[in-house]
Amino acid sequence: SALRSSSSPTLSSHTYISINLSNMKASRASLAILMAIASSASAFAPTKFNTPSSTLLRATPATSSNFLTPELAQSCIDVAGGTPLYAYSLDSLAKSADACLAFPNAYGLTVRYAMKACPNGTILKYFLSRGICIDASSGYEVRRAMDMGVPAEKISLSSQELPTDFEELVKLGVKINCCSISQLERFGKAFANTSQKVGVRVNPGVGSGGFSSSTTGFSKTNVGGPSSSFGIWHEFVTDGTVPAIVEKYGLEVERIHTHIGSGSDPAIWQQTAKLSLSFCAIWDTVTSLNLGGGYKVGRNPDEKTTDLIEIGSPVADAFKDFAKEHGRELKMEIEPGTYLVANAGALVTKIQDKVSTKSSSSDDGHIFLKMDAGMTDVLRPSLYGAIHPITILPGSGKSEDIGTDVESVVVVGHCCESGDLMTPKPGEPEALEERPLRTAELGDIAVMDGSGAYCAGMSTKNYNSFPESPEVLVTADGEVHLIRKRQDPKQIYENECDVPDGVF
């Protein structure tokens, strides 16, 4: 059962305000939600997650990456002024945008790019040109998007921290989804009795993401269920607590928002999407349901990418059923991040060292390839035990120099940090695993694919004082354009201040 236990925290007095119409709607919706959970309980049973197996990762190494040949990789290096760098394929971005814009819907669709996945301004501008709006996760992301030319009215904010300037952002046209009871209170006090429109993010009671098979336990990529702090717990929506706050401040709920995790199980996402419609029944002012994102993307040979048509069609039908029952045609919103950019990006590095701990008296040793990049550029392996395909290309940048020899190696980064591991065991960031790669020489190019999402935007840049890496955009005809310069090392510490003389 997803019902709150008796040990739940005591709520403030406003929780128990007696309301009439809203409370009745909440009660009916609560019953509907409980029935939905009961009837589809088996749908929330975790399915078997595909994780890269050692067997498939031991296939013959490719002679090119997802979109980079040795020659094109060298062109990227030349434009960026060396390695490491991030390269993005415009053709891949276009194809993923096409897929998201074709997501099945009944009465209208808004696609919002989860800009935290890769917030480079050129990428934001490209998606804006395709009619894709923005999902921001902080007030700073909102300002960044607006500085890149994104109109405020095309930005939606769902944040763990309501920014101090949220009133100004709302007046500019930004749509805000309140993600906690206290956020809703603050929002209500700021716009009391003005019929201000607001969104409510709901924690639907289940989550799904990444390597975790649990729908209720903690996972770094799971943002739903009782072990997640994201969103307002669903019972506070259905027991009258949230409707009471809405009524007290005279707000107008126009949007319900749910999101259960990154890399979520398609079946669980689909069932949660249908369940989320029940929350829309609480307020007859709701005009849209935002279903979040988190669609699985296959970075490796045995990983499947979510079929958006397959998961979206039944959900579109559920919107039609809601319209028949409630007389309202709700618009759909989705917030893909990984799906739009993950496989459109690659980290391009050089092998700058190669060491061995192998011994004739033991089988415990390894051959280590050291990149001139690492967790300062791609943190996902160290953080999640995420697996990225790695391709070794000749340092000459010529296809004819591709070798045929293969060796099993462990790939690590350049940081003075034992956790800077690029080839962990799947889902186990504390465990290293050898990977069969083309035999590398110092100076060879190493391309780490699947690095378009949560890499440049989620790195530990400046650790060990390494500067932020540049970014380039690769067009379909092979043109390479610089879209971020390499950081000047002095920029790393330019905001530091000296203390007055005599302090030490």
DSSP letter for each residue of 318-347 = HHHHHHHHHS---EEEE--SHHHHGGGEEE
Q: What is the pLDDT of residue 261?
A: 61
Model pLDDT for residues 315-334, shown as the tens digit of each residue? 899 999 999 999 999 999 99
Q: What is the pLDDT of residue 121?
A: 98
Q: Is 491 helix (H, G, I), strand (E, B) or coil?
A: helix
The per-residue pLDDT of the chain, averaged, comes to 87
Query: What tokens does 324 get?
Result: 């028949």
Model pLDDT for residues 219-270, shown as the tens digit of each residue? 455 566 777 788 999 999 999 999 999 999 999 999 999 977 655 566 776 7
Residue with tokens 């007859």: 284
Confidence of residue 209 (pLDDT cuts 50, 70, 90): low
- Closest of 183, 229, 177, 184 to residue 203, by C-alpha: 229
185 or 209, higher pLDDT: 185
**How much is the average pLDDT of 133-141?**
98
Q: What is the pLDDT of residue 37?
A: 43
Model pLDDT for residues 296-310, shown as the tens digit of each residue? 899 998 888 989 998
Give the C-alpha separation, 330 to 193, whole Å.
25
For residue 3, pLDDT over 60 is answered with: no
Q: What is the pLDDT of residue 223?
A: 62
Give the C-alpha separation, 68 to 66, whole Å.
6
9 or 134, higher pLDDT: 134
Give the C-alpha separation, 493 to 467, whole Å.
11
Residue with tokens 């999101």: 259
Q: Is 392 helix (H, G, I), strand (E, B) or coil?
A: strand
**Percentage of the chain with pLDDT > 70?**
83
Q: What is the pLDDT of residue 363?
A: 82
Confidence of residue 498 (pLDDT cuts 50, 70, 90): very high
For residue 105, pLDDT over 50 is answered with: yes
Q: Looking at the whole model, is its pTM more than 0.75?
A: yes
Report strand pairing: 197-203 vs 175-178: parallel
Q: What is the pLDDT of residue 43?
A: 38
Max Cα distance, the chain (Å): 80
Q: What is the pLDDT of residue 301?
A: 86
Question: One-letter amino acid identity for 304?
Answer: K
**How much is the average pLDDT of 417-444?**
95
Confidence of residue 36 (pLDDT cuts 50, 70, 90): very low
Please name the residues in contact with 360: beta carbons below 8 A apart, sequence gap of 6 or more.
none
